[in-house]
Amino acid sequence: MSAAAENATAVVQIRIESQAEADSQAVTQTRSARLNLIFAVTLIIFHIGAVAALFFFRWSALAVFVVLWVLAQNVGIGMTYHRLLTHRGYTTPKWLEYTMAVCATLALQGGPIYWVAVHRLHHQLTDRPGDPHSPRDGKWWSHMGWILHGSLRNRNGLLTRYVPDLARDPFYIWLSRWHWIPVSLLGFALFLIGGWPWLLWGIFLRVTLGLHATWLVNSATHMWGSRRFDTRDDSRNNLWIALLTGGEGWHNNHHAHPVSAAHGMAWYELDFNYWGIRILGLLGLAKRIKVQSSDHSPARILHG
Radius of gyration over alpha carbons of the chain, in Å?
19
pLDDT of res. 158? 62
Q: How far is 64 from 197, CA to CA, in rounded Å? A: 10
pLDDT of res. 39? 82
Q: How far is 184 from 204, CA to CA, in rounded Å? A: 11
pLDDT of res. 8? 37
Total number of domains in the chain = 1
Range of the domain at 156: 10-225
CB distance 200 to 49 below 8 Å = yes
Per-residue pLDDT of the chain (304 residues; tens, 9 = 90+): 555 444 434 333 444 455 555 555 555 545 567 777 888 899 999 999 999 999 999 999 999 999 999 999 999 999 999 999 999 999 999 999 999 999 999 999 999 999 999 999 999 999 998 888 999 999 999 999 888 875 545 455 667 788 999 999 999 999 999 999 999 999 999 999 999 999 999 999 999 999 999 999 999 999 999 999 999 999 999 999 999 999 999 999 999 999 999 999 999 999 999 999 999 999 999 999 999 877 666 678 887 6
CA 53 to chain centre: 25
CB distance 124 to 17 below 8 Å = yes
Residue 284 lies in a domain: no
Residue 278 lies in a domain: no
CA 113 to chain centre: 12
pLDDT of res. 14? 41
What pTM does this model have?
0.88
CA torsion sign for 102, 107, 110, 114 is: negative
Residue 239 lies in a domain: no
- Non-local CB neighbours of 201 within 8 Å, separated by 6+ positions: 53, 56, 57, 58, 61, 62, 64, 65
pLDDT of res. 270? 97
Residue 21 lies in a domain: yes
Residue 281 lies in a domain: no
The three state secondary structure string of the chain is CCHHHHHHHHHHHHHHHHHHHHHHHHHCCCCCHHHHHHHHHHHHHHHHHHHHHCCCCCHHHHHHHHHHHHHHHHHHHHHHHHHHHHCCCCECCHHHHHHHHHHHHCCCCCCHHHHHHHHHHHHHCCCCCCCCCCHHHCHHHHHHHHHHHHHCCCCCHHHHHHCHHHHCCHHHHHHHHCCHHHHHHHHHHHHHHHHHHHHHHHHHHHHHHHHHHHHHHHHHHHCCCECCCCCCCCCCECHHHHHHHCCCCEHHHHHHCCCCCCCCCCCCCCCHHHHHHHHHHHCCCCECEEECCCCCCCCEEECC
Residue 277 lies in a domain: no
Residue 54 lies in a domain: yes
Residue 299 lies in a domain: no
